[in-house]
Structure 1
């Protein structure tokens, strides 16, 4: 097995606070997606909601995945003023959050 070259994934699992309207969640997701156009090290953004049948989500309802070329790119993203401003607003609407950064490993088959 080998690490995928030049790719680091930044995963954020979230549960929005009770009372956060679907419209507000949509607005926050659009704001998150817009970061990819404003912060150079962020190369891609994907998101979705939990659809698992295993019921192991521990209350998390949304997953957000950002792609970077390096760990240093994640550090630049985290410190970027646009991200800091957005994160202050976004995190204020979350009841639970979990963030994991990882380098994908390619499994030969």
Structure 2
């Protein structure tokens, strides 16, 4: 399915919106890494940009958790590799919070 053609103004607005979302996600990951935000706070966020972050990226940004450990944890908890925060079910959220109880 082809995307409709965008005017230069629409294209610029879309690029600006995407850049702002990337910046916000980067700030959240940095805050998680340094303990300024908890996992519980991120999971409870109503920000569209944060809700569209993958669970793998979220876990990989936690202190002492890298990409490999994040993948292992996702597999252990039965969460899809491509799952985004907004797509987590209640039980999946609870399992994540229980796994990282010191985080939230």
Q: TM-score range by the shorter chain?
A: under 0.3
Q: Which has the larger strand fraction? A: 1
TM-score of the aligned structures, taking structure 2 as reference length = 0.24
Q: Which has the larger helix fraction? A: 2
TM-score of the aligned structures, taking structure 1 as reference length = 0.23
